[in-house]
Amino acid sequence: MKKNIAFSLLASCAFNVYAADTASTPDTCQKRLSAGDYAQAISLAEESIRADANQRESYLCLGRAQSGAGNHADALKTFEKADSLSTNPYEHIIALTLLGNELKASGKPADAIATYRKSAALAREGKIQRYEMIDLNLIGETQQESGDAQSAVNSFEQAYKLAANDNERADCHAHLASAYSALGDHDHAISHQIKAVVMEERSGDLDHYAHANLELGKIYLAAKQYADAEKLMSRMLPVIVQAGDPYWEASIYEMQAQIKAYQGQPADAKSLIEKGVSLARKIGADALAQQIEQTRRGLKL
């Protein structure tokens, strides 16, 4: 999604604390990591570790860079080393959560869940509520991706009880909506996603609000409530156009195309797909353009 908006919104933003933990040289590992230059980030981190083998922050940055480069086996060892150098519950929580993410990426969901649970337990003992919530959401995500959506619901409900503000509650509602949708319980899914939309409208930015509405549209489609999906997108489009955000405008055209196709209007659907692809390409959003093209193929337009 746009600006790295992914399913686990809180989990993806929770570790920005590392930005202040890297070396003070002008071209740090963290800066290279943020720029997506994983090779240079790895080089800088390794250089820092050679100078000080107990530099925990360098191992954290190295592991993230290795993961970004697809070197998951190396990243696992690096995060294990970072955890061994942790000296307080907070540091252990960060290292263990990143290790859990890497185990998940390596196709080891059971090990990932066990590691997230260790991190959540430390957060609970230390009364670090936000990180316990994050770990519970990560446990739920992993359970859902492993086909156990009911257990995911239970984990997300536990996480919701720890949410401290509308942004966190919106994220938990979105998780619950996705899990209920996977279970085919569309009524509960819609209810939770509407709550996510309301909270994002009240407390989130345009990106999160647009993303929440598009996720609601997807749930309406899954429930075959095409009229509701159409009304939702018709309300959203002028908001996005007025805001001058072509990325989300193209995304709405993609959603509207699906609605038209499911309603038996292939000509209108094809026209909307073409508008979406053209706009995405115009702004250089190649991944979005490819996604819309994939939608076209799925709809056989």
Ordered by start, the domain boundaries in the chain are 1-162, 224-301
| Whether 15 contacts 38, CB under 8 Å | no
- Closest alpha carbon to 174 in 129, 144, 131, 146: 144
| Whether 113 contacts 143, CB under 8 Å | yes
pLDDT at residue number 49: 92
Burial class (CB in 10 A: 0-12, 13-18, 19+), 242: exposed
- Closest alpha carbon to 182 in 224, 214, 162, 152: 152
pLDDT in tens, the chain (301 residues): 454 554 444 444 444 444 444 444 435 888 898 888 999 999 999 999 999 999 898 999 999 999 999 999 999 999 999 999 999 999 999 999 999 999 999 999 999 999 999 999 999 999 999 999 999 999 999 999 999 999 999 999 999 999 999 999 999 999 999 999 999 999 999 999 999 999 999 998 999 999 999 999 999 999 999 999 999 999 999 999 999 999 999 999 999 999 999 999 999 999 999 999 999 999 999 999 999 999 999 999 8
Burial class (CB in 10 A: 0-12, 13-18, 19+), 271: middle
Distance CA 213, CA 260 (A): 18
pLDDT at residue number 4: 52
Quick one: tokens of 46?
A: 């390794």
Distance CA 232, CA 243 (A): 17
H helices present in the chain, as ranges: 9-13, 29-34, 38-51, 56-68, 72-84, 89-105, 109-125, 129-145, 149-160, 166-182, 186-203, 206-222, 226-243, 246-262, 266-282, 286-299
DSSP tag of 283:
T
- Closest alpha carbon to 64 in 93, 27, 97, 26: 97
| Whether 87 contacts 122, CB under 8 Å | no
Residue 235: CB atoms within 10 Å = 10
Give Cβ neighbours of residue 284 (< 8 Å, ≥ 6 apart): none
CATH of 1-162, one of 3.30.1380.10, 1.25.40.10, 3.40.50.1100, 3.40.50.300: 1.25.40.10
pLDDT at residue number 2: 55
